Amino acid sequence: NEKTFIMVKPDGVQRNLIGEIVTRFEKKGFQLVGAKLMSVSKELAEEHYGEHKERPFFGELVDFITSSPVFAMVWEGPGVIATARQMMGTTNPSEAAPGTIRGDYGISVGMNIIHGSDSAESAEREMGLWFTDQDLTSYDKTLSKWI
Ligand code: GTP
Ligand code: MG
């Protein structure tokens, strides 16, 4: 069962977009298996974005992610990793297609509302970083045979 890590970033939480984002993934047919609203430590932010450590914007990125709470989630479903990335839109919201989350709600690359794992390896790593096994549920929905 494919799973991915999705996070509403501080700008998305501040702008009351949690419900909208959860709704989009629910309506698509994916299943929520874990979620929490949380403040992010500097250590966790640096670990999560470790691949960007050498980039000039790394400090800014860590400051932003730790500036206000995020809403961390795990979503499950066939092809959820790639499809979630499509639903998010490209990294820079100015260029993201209308109809995507970033395309509909964002303007600046620094505040692009949402994070989603970019590969199966990233999804495993990030789920392990943000959630314990006990945080995640697995359950059958009778609806799943219709999706
Ligand atoms: P994430 O889902 O957040 O990982 O975004 P992404 O995979 O679409 O992009 P990437 O991993 O390449 O970059 C990680 C994050 O760094 C982006 O989501 C942006 O928020 C931020 N970022 C990327 N480029 C810039 C930049 O030039 N300036 C600033 N301030 N932030 C940037
Ligand atoms: Mg990324």
With a 6 Å cutoff on the Cβ, whether 91 touches ligand 1 is: yes
147 versus 91: the higher-pLDDT residue is: 91
d(CA 113, CA 106): 7
Tokens standing for residue 53: 């450590």
Active site annotation includes 48: no
With a 6 Å cutoff on the Cβ, whether 9 touches ligand 1 is: no
Dump pLDDT digits (tens) for 29-80: 999 999 999 999 999 999 999 999 999 999 999 999 999 999 999 999 999 9
HSE-CB of 117 using CA atoms within 13 angstroms: 25
d(CA 102, CA 87): 8
Identify the H or E element spanning 121. helix 120-130
Q: SS3 of 7, please?
A: strand
Which pLDDT value is given to residue 50? 97
Mutate to test the pocket of ligand 1, among 61, 70, 111 (most ligand atoms within 8 A of CB): 61
Residues 8, 88, 115, 127: which is the catalytic one? Answer: 115
What ipTM was reported for this prediction? Answer: 0.93
Tokens standing for residue 29: 């047919």
**pLDDT interval class at 84 (50, 70, 90):** very high
Which pLDDT value is given to residue 143? 83
Identify the H or E element spanning 35. strand 31-38
Residue nearest to atom 2 of ligand 1 (CA): 115
**pLDDT interval class at 93 (50, 70, 90):** very high
pTM, full prediction: 0.96
